[in-house]
Amino acid sequence: MRILVASDIHASPRAAQMIRDRIREHGPDVFVAAGDLTNFGPIEYARELLQGLPVPTLAVPGNCDPRSVVPVLTELGVNLHGRKVTLAGHTFVGIGGSNPTPFHTPFELSEREIEQALRRVMEPSAILVSHPPPRGAVDVVHSGEHVGSVAVRTIVEEYKPPVVLCGHIHEARGVAKIGPTTVVNSGLAREGHAAIVDVDGDITVQLL
């Protein structure tokens, strides 16, 4: 399976066009939007971004999305927040929002809420889509502090998913390992960043 992942779109028309261009160029089997589809709204931007894409699509909200975006994602048939979906023989599990930030953004969850939501749906071998990265992997901000989710890290260490697709920390774009798990922070789509992840036994990643 080939996955195109983009995160932190922040209502950027440039990012929306980039996603369509990358789909055409790389021919992914699935497009994953890993959060911050809007920039504190409006929620209709999420519909404009995701409606009519030519490949199966899954999405979680980010901390900068209003909580009211979740019903829109459900209406479009792409919602992965707190859910489990199987596509082409691969199971995807998702969590949106983020662990608490200093900025009091619209969609923040406690670490306990994140862990409880993931435990309801997580299973071994599932691909994990999480807006926040796990603590300690592709989650370092400019100050040098690790600010990823402790709960996501706990789930990763316990279930050992093959890959985690995330974003949230714009400056931490990259690829890391937690045990056997590959963690991909695809970067700031608003600046043209995305990633191609090939899942076929081995995990291969191209940062775009």
**Domain coverage including residue 83:** 2-207
Number of domains in the chain: 1
pLDDT for res 198: 97
Q: Which CATH number fits the domain that encloses residue 117?
A: 3.60.21.10
Q: Give, for all 208 residues of the chain, the pLDDT tens digit.
A: 999 999 999 999 999 999 999 999 999 999 999 999 999 999 999 999 999 999 999 999 999 999 999 999 999 999 999 999 999 889 999 999 999 999 999 999 999 999 999 999 999 899 999 999 999 999 999 999 989 999 999 999 999 999 999 999 999 999 999 999 999 999 999 999 999 999 988 999 999 9
d(CA 69, CA 73): 6
* Dihedral sign from CA coordinates of 198, 130, 46, 186: negative
What pTM value is reported for the model? 0.96
pLDDT for res 57: 98
Residue 34: name the closest of 139, 166, 151, 134 by CA.
Answer: 166
b/e for 12-37, b at 16 or more Cβ within 10 A?
Answer: beebbebbeebbeeeebebbbbbbbb
Cβ(10)–Cβ(36) below 8 Å: yes
